[in-house]
Amino acid sequence: MYNIAWVDNEKCIAEKGCRLCIMYCPEADTIMFDESTKKAIVIEPRCKGCDLCKVVCSTHNAITMFPVDPTTGQVIRGGEAGESAALGQAYAG
């Protein structure tokens, strides 16, 4: 089981200039600014589930980690995220 990040557009304030998750994500072109919605968006196949974006967005709490079924590759929305890749936890200190 692995996780991927998901952005709640109701909470994301990217339209006000926030780019924290985009700046901190260690994977290139994985969490991006969506010009149409003016929110951050996760390119799900690229996400490594490291949690870092969730940690840096703790003030607005706009990012949730969801588990991915390893056999089907389907994101389990509303599922409880499994253990993370721990990079975000390391940053959170």
Of 50, 66, 68, 81, the one binding ligand SF4 (CB under 6 A) is 50
Query: What is the pattern of x (binds ligand SF4, CB under 6 A) and - over residues 53-82?
Result: x--xx--x-xx-------------------
**Whole-number Å distance between alpha carbons of 88 and 8:** 19
Q: Which of 56, 70, 50, 60 is nearest to 4 (CA)?
A: 50
Does position 7 bind ligand SF4 by CB under 6 A? yes
Angle at 41 between CA 38 and CA 90, to 5 degrees: 125
Of 6, 41, 52, 81, the one binding ligand SF4 (CB under 6 A) is 52
